[in-house]
Amino acid sequence: DTGVSQDPRHKITKRGQNVTFRCDPISEHNRLYWYRQTLGQGPEFLTYFQNEAQLEKSRLLSDRFSAERPKGSFSTLEIQRTEQGDSAMYLCASSYWTDPAEAFFGQGTRLTVV
């Protein structure tokens, strides 16, 4: 296991299109997080899964955003009807229940909405 992987690394899409990102966490980690990072800012929390259950969502996560983690393994983050303000780096992180705050991050998916 080489860590948290995210796909794609880069995505350019036209405004109004739907996009989906995938995150594969470290295999034994039961917690999975999505964060968003804009230029010059630190990452901001979007949502959190414990196994397959989505237990917390930020107010940043508008109804155009949806995340899933079927079977408690990989996760997907979908953005519908993208807007230019959605342009950001989307980061996935995972952690183990014994040390939940020590999160391991993927390299992120950079989304550009044109």
Which residues contribute to the site for another protein (CB under 8 A)? 4, 31, 33, 35, 40-45, 48, 55-56, 91, 93, 95, 100-108
Least CB distance to another protein at residue 15 (A): 27
Q: Which is nearer to another protein, 56 or 78 (CB)?
A: 56
Nearer to another protein, 48 or 65 (CB): 48
Nearest approach in angstroms of CB 87 to another protein is 18
- SS3 string, 47-65, reads EEEECCEEEEECCCCCCCE
Burial classification of residue 22, based on how many CB atoms lie within 10 Å of its CB (0-12 exposed, 13-18 middle, 19 or more buried): middle
Check: CB of residue 89 under 8 Å from CB of residue 34.
no
Residue (of 95, 87, 93) closest to 107 by Cα position = 93
**Shortest distance, position 84 Cβ to another protein, whole Å:** 22
| CA atoms in the 13 A half-sphere facing the CB of 56 | 10
To another protein, the closest distance from the beta carbon of 50 in angstroms equals 8
Query: Which residue, 47 or 82, is less far from another protein as judged by CB?
Result: 47
The conformation of residue 86, written as its DSSP 8-state character, comes to G
Cβ nearer to another protein, comparing 21 with 82: 21
